[in-house]
Amino acid sequence: MKEIDLSTKLGEITLKNPVITASGTCGYGQELEDYMDLEQLGALTVKGITLQAKTGNPVPRIVETPAGILNSIGLENPGLEGFLADKIKIIKGYQLPVFVNISGYSIEDFVLLAEKLAEISCIAALEVNVSCPNIPGGGLAFGTDPELIYQITKQVKAAYPGSVIVKLSPNVTAISDMAIAAQEGGADIISLINTLQGMAIDLERQKPVFANTFGGLSGPAIKPVALRMVYQVAQKIKIPIIGMGGIMTGQDAVEFLLAGASAVAIGTATLIHPDAPLMIIKEIKAYLQDKKINNIQEIIGKVLN
């Protein structure tokens, strides 16, 4: 039998398979080296960075929900300076494409990050996080306003010569409008979806569990919502989509591909099974084998009208 072709394209970027790690669930890669050969992944998206270092939110930062996780990490990261000093050398060691996720409190933050990272050749793409629900005054505020999404995307594109991914928030009423705004701003790729905003209450203290009150819901619980949004957006935009949200198995991943995603990102699954992305690659391959499909491109967007 012919070798199955799992390769996929995200604009200018070719991935050997469609499986990517989601930002914030794989550190800078090296944390997972004990559990898997990272080079087998399609791409790696490293933990989000901000201009200034952030110590993140107080604990507790995580709560389990039925088939899901609420998190309120608060983007703990070493900041641009720490990233350049300590993390770039890790990324340089990889052969596979590495995406760097960036967050900011203002358009200027995003532009400054883009300018600085433009000088670094080992980064395959920037993922612009306009959707973090866990930082006050930032993130989510941008992701719910199409005009701001358009502005951020346009200005980051002007500052950064490489590929720009815009990661959208699901906490909106019309996701397609956000995706169109990013596309019009010049985005090369869309990531869909970030976490859904939720909350949990501590019955002993009779207070919200999180100091920040709200957290971001991820995991299998949000998969149907993510899938629906990918399906909707795929019908409205021409640029490729990285689908994510509760993908635990190869079957889940195939659903996203059928709905129009050109690649998928694995997040929560990796927190439970550190080698989950590799298992998912195997399961996607097994599905294609079973359906006698030699090229993964045949299933991408197959259920779209």
Partner 1 sequence: MFLEVINNQRLASDYYLLVTQSTASAQTRPGQFFHLKIGKKYSYDPLLRRPLSVHKVDRSKGRISFLYRIIGKGTKMLSFYQAGDRIDALGPLGKGFKTDFKNKQILVIGGGMGIAPLYPLVDSLLNSNQVTFLIGGNNQQDLKYFLDFPINSGVIFDAASIDGSIEFKGTVIDLWEKSYSAGFNPDFLFACGPKAMLRRVKLIAEERAIPGQVSLEERMGCGSGVCLSCVCHTNKGNQRVCKEGPVFSLQEVSLE
Per-residue binding string, partner 1, 227-266, x by CB under 8 A, is ---------------------xx-----------------
Say if CB 17 and CB 250 are below 8 A apart: no
In terms of CB distance, is 12 or 33 closer to partner 1? 33
Tokens of 198: 């939720």
Question: What is the total count of residues that contact partner 1 (CB under 8 A)?
Answer: 35
* Site membership for partner 1, residue 168 (CB under 8 A): no
* Stretch binding partner 1 (CB under 8 A), from 68-76, 101-109, 165-173, 280-288: 68-76
In terms of CB distance, is 5 or 35 closer to partner 1? 35
* Measured distance CA(200)–CA(215) in Å, rounded: 8
DSSP class of residue 76 equals -
* Site membership for partner 1, residue 215 (CB under 8 A): no
DSSP class of residue 51 equals S
Q: Classify residue 111 by burial, with Cβ atoms within 10 Å: 0-12, 13-18, 19+.
A: middle
Three-state secondary structure along 90-133?
HHHCCCCCEEEEECCCCHHHHHHHHHHHCCCCCCCEEEEECCCC
* Site membership for partner 1, residue 211 (CB under 8 A): no
How would you classify the pairing of strands 68-71 and 62-65? antiparallel
* Stretch binding partner 1 (CB under 8 A), from 111-119, 124-132, 191-199, 219-227: 219-227
Per-residue binding string, partner 1, 75-104, x by CB under 8 A, is -x----------------------------
Rg value, the chain, Cα: 18
In terms of CB distance, is 185 or 219 closer to partner 1? 219
In this chain, which of 6, 17, 18, 61 binds partner 1, going by CB under 8 A?
61
Say if CB 282 and CB 276 are below 8 A apart: no
| CB of 235 vs partner 1, minimal distance in Å | 29
* Site membership for partner 1, residue 36 (CB under 8 A): no
For the beta carbon of residue 195, count every other beta carbon within 10 angstroms.
29
CA 283, 235, 237: angle at the middle one, nearest 5?
100
* Site membership for partner 1, residue 201 (CB under 8 A): no
* Site membership for partner 1, residue 154 (CB under 8 A): no
Tokens of 103: 């967050």
Using CB under 8 A as the binding rule, the residues of this chain from 119 to 138 that contact partner 1 are: none
In this chain, which of 59, 85, 286, 304 binds partner 1, going by CB under 8 A?
59
Tokens of 264: 């998928």
Say if CB 284 and CB 266 are below 8 A apart: no
In this chain, which of 67, 85, 201, 304 binds partner 1, going by CB under 8 A?
67
Residues tagged active-site: 132
* Measured distance CA(199)–CA(210) in Å, rounded: 8
Binding residues for partner 1 (CB under 8 A): 24-27, 31-32, 34-35, 47, 55-56, 59-64, 66-69, 71, 73, 76, 219-221, 248-249, 268, 270-274
